[in-house]
Amino acid sequence: MRSFISCFTFLLITGITTNLFSQTNVEFNKKNFPDKKDQYKDALKELEQGDELYILGGGNYTLALDHYLKAQDFNPVNALLNYKIGKCYLNSYDKVKSITYLENAIKIDPKVSIDAHYLLGQAYQLNIEFDKAIAEYKIFKNSLIPKDLAKYSKEIDKKLTESNTGIELVKKPTRVFIDNMGTNINTIYPEYSPIINADESVLFFTSRRENTTGGEKDPTDFKYYEDIYISYNLGGTWNSASNPGKPMNTDIHDATVGLSPDGQTLLIYRGDNGGDIYECKLKGKEWSKPEKLPKSINTDYHESGASFGPDGRTLYFVSDKPGGYGGHDIYMTKKNAKDKWTEPVNLGPVINTEYDEEGVFMHPDGKTLYFSSKGHKTMGGYDIFKSVYENLPTLPTGQAGGQAGGQAGGKWSEPENIGYPINTPDDDVFFSISASGLHGYYSSAMAGGFGGQDIYLLTLLGPEKPVISNNEDNLLASLTKPVSETVIEPTVEIKSNQLTLLKGTIVDDITSVPLMATIELTDNSKNEIIASFESNSATGKYLVSLPSGVNYGIAVKAEGYLFHSENFDIPASTGFNEITKDIRMKKIEVGNKIVLNNIFFDFDKATLRPESAAELDRLTKLLTDMPSLKIEISGHTDNVGSAAYNKTLSESRAKSVVDYLVKNGIDKSRLTYAGYGFDQPIASNSTDEGRQQNRRTEFKVTSK
């Protein structure tokens, strides 16, 4: 079901017609029902059972509703019962149904409860009736005695601010298609916390279904325990979600938290020790037993969410441990050279507020953070915000410095509300966005779903010309001015796509058997390894996120094989790009050769540039680890210039490589070099791209 929301307010419908009461309050007293003694007894019993559950609160509010509604059918003009039904609905998925009952309660008895106007204000706010909400909050505020006003003034003022923010956000909506993901994902039970890998090929989410592992319900809210479910994108269609069972899921709560961009490492929440984060890895086709993250991350307090950075060595997580700015704060930690998580750093007061922050998600670009907050400029409950780490030079690899949670010289931008209708006056917590910036995934209890919370796909349109989806022209026309008169820029640009996705499969060159290989990323300008990943052992698939602004050297290594190298020099201004690169690994056999794609020379010279160091060091290590290995280094050129000149240049460049290896401890008797000029092209010399491929340095195994 697709709904395009552009420049109008979406009105939630309660489904109940408001009754206008002229009667006074009718108490549940048998004297008031002399001719309905049996019905009165039944109604009173329902009322008493409802009250027993109502007092317990929490998930019992929903259970109390069943009894209260039966009692209300018998006596619809009891103010306190209408009030209690309204309060129960405010604590259910059908929150806006509370409006009718709270309105009726106040009409029957304006003094039914001191907080009745406050609750009605909440209900109006949830229904995007902000002007009415403001009026009710002010009535409530003005009714308080000085002692209570001092106690509740801050909370009321926050509600008033949220409502005014809501008015502004609805005026300037974010242009987006919203699609329910359908019955392959959603059920009559709650689905939420969707997370995807960078190329949207796999979706993980949490659900509380009847086929939960163990089959039991949580006694605190009488819903099935949470389990994690998986769906795969097959040819553009998400297949029917499956429960992977144990060891990923257990008999208690197991919830999705975060996923590495390549989809190989899943972060899981479990409710033990106050709430901790676990890590689960895909080994071939099987998921490993989840392992708890170390004590530097998990404390005796509540760690509720986490997200990897694109390097896999940076983790952003949520905790309410002491020392923060409010309730739950967002922290960052990095792995050191020994692969140990360092002491976490609070992201600071630009991100964290005196209220709760939750649902952290770092985009694969390595600098755009999405999170939910009850602080900042929210229209109610949690809203989703975006902040960009400005002046970030590379993938985050060093110790934090400068502003909290970042590197020296950088800072987090002021968080921006990503706008209505993605954000609502209710809680909007879990949000993830694809590497391309085109699609977002989140959960919502909006009208028209399959039950409770459903997972929705967002297609983010940005500031382009407005588009009307499907057959909603008449609806739009009835609710708004003509679109041509109401073109408004979106509240905030959501798309973040300054990165390149490199993906493919790694296989044996001869047999095409998938290989588990290590993919090592180097910042050539710094000669610094910034990340390391592994391909899947069963499929050979790999996926690497390359944020823009770095000259990347990529080395693929597998035991018994020559390393494979690639170079990607990605300018900072480069937008989203997706490259599929299947890699065929060659075994260490006599005659096999590879191109050294990360060796660079000064123009028209044989002088090695500093960016070549990482590649040369890899070659040095290979020769050191295999002391009997002998190789030939060869230089090659394009066909520009004379044959003699190119032969001389290519030979000089090959010699420079040999000289480097000898200088670094490799016996020169194991090394030969040759310059072939343009005699051995691997591509056409008629194009710039082809000539660039022909300008290369290779090495060939001459003896094992």
pLDDT at 398 over 60: no
Task: Tell me if 531 sits within 8 A of 395, measured CB to CB.
Answer: yes
**CA angle, 129 as apex, 102 and 460 as ends, to 5°?**
130
Sorted by sequence, the CB contacts under 8 Å of residue 575 that are 6+ apart come out as 497, 498, 548
Sorted by sequence, the CB contacts under 8 Å of residue 517 that are 6+ apart come out as 506, 534, 535, 540, 542, 556, 557, 558, 561, 583, 585
Task: Tell me if 422 sits within 8 A of 410, measured CB to CB.
Answer: no
- Report pLDDT for 2: 38
As its CATH architecture, domain 176-485 has 6 Propeller (2.120)
Map residue 19 onto helix, strand or coil: coil
- Report pLDDT for 481: 32
- CATH no., domain 498-587: 2.60.40.2190
Spatial separation of the C-alpha atoms in residues 29 and 44, rounded to whole Å:
9
Sorted by sequence, the CB contacts under 8 Å of residue 549 that are 6+ apart come out as 393, 394, 498, 570, 571, 572, 574
Residue 290 pLDDT level (bands cut at 50, 70, 90): very high
Pairing state of beta strands 237-238 and 583-585? unpaired
Task: Tell me if 652 sits within 8 A of 610, measured CB to CB.
Answer: no
Indicate the class that CATH gives domain 590-704.
Answer: alpha beta
Q: What is the pLDDT of residues 352-382, one digit of tens each?
A: 999 999 999 999 999 999 999 999 999 999 9
- Report pLDDT for 465: 52
Q: Which residues of 490-527 are buried (b: 16+ CB within 10 A; e: fewer)?
A: bbbbbbbbbbbbbbbbbbbeeeeebbbbbbbbbbbebb
505, two tokens: 């499969």
DSSP state of 70: H
pLDDT (mean) for 242-246: 93
- Report pLDDT for 187: 95
Spatial separation of the C-alpha atoms in residues 166 and 424, rounded to whole Å:
8
HSE at residue 648, side-chain half, CA atoms within 13 A, is 7
Task: Tell me if 350 sits within 8 A of 411, measured CB to CB.
Answer: yes
Q: How far apart are the first and last CA of the chain?
A: 63
Phi, psi of 124 (to 5 degrees): -60, -40
Helix and strand numbers, DSSP H then E, in the chain: 11, 37
Residue 462 pLDDT level (bands cut at 50, 70, 90): low
Domain ranges in the chain? 2-171, 176-485, 498-587, 590-704
| Residues in the chain, overall count | 704
- Give 498 or 637, the one with higher predicted confidence: 637
Spatial separation of the C-alpha atoms in residues 351 and 408, rounded to whole Å:
17
**CA angle, 424 as apex, 418 and 425 as ends, to 5°?**
125
**DSSP states of 454-506:** EEEEEEE-TTS-----TT-HHHHHHHSS-GGG-----SS------EEEEEEEE
Q: What is the pLDDT of residues 623-678, one digit of tens each?
A: 999 999 999 999 999 999 999 999 999 999 999 999 999 999 999 999 999 999 99
pLDDT at 402 over 80: no
Residue 329 pLDDT level (bands cut at 50, 70, 90): very high
Residue with tokens 């020769």: 623
3-state secondary structure 247-311: CCCCCCCEEEEEECCCCCEEEEEECHHHCEEEEEEEECCEECCCEECCCCCCCCCCEEEEEECCC
pLDDT at 185 over 90: yes
What are the CA-CA distances from residue 23 to residues 27, 37, 109, 174, 617 (Å)? 12, 21, 10, 46, 89
542 forms beta bridges with 504
What are the CA-CA distances from residue 467 to residues 11, 175, 176, 377 (Å)? 20, 9, 9, 28
pLDDT at 351 over 70: yes
pLDDT at 434 over 60: yes
Give pTM, 2 decimals. Answer: 0.85
HSE at residue 661, side-chain half, CA atoms within 13 A, is 29
635 forms beta bridges with 675, 697
- Give 95 or 3, the one with higher predicted confidence: 95
> Under the phi-then-psi rule, with left for phi > 0, alpha for psi from -120 to 50, and beta for the rest, what region is 504?
left
CATH of 2-171, one of 3.40.50.2000, 1.10.760.10, 1.25.40.10, 1.10.287.110: 1.25.40.10
Amino acid (1-letter code) at residue 528? E
Residue with tokens 């194009």: 687
pLDDT at 93 over 60: yes
pLDDT at 10 over 50: no
DSSP state of 344: P
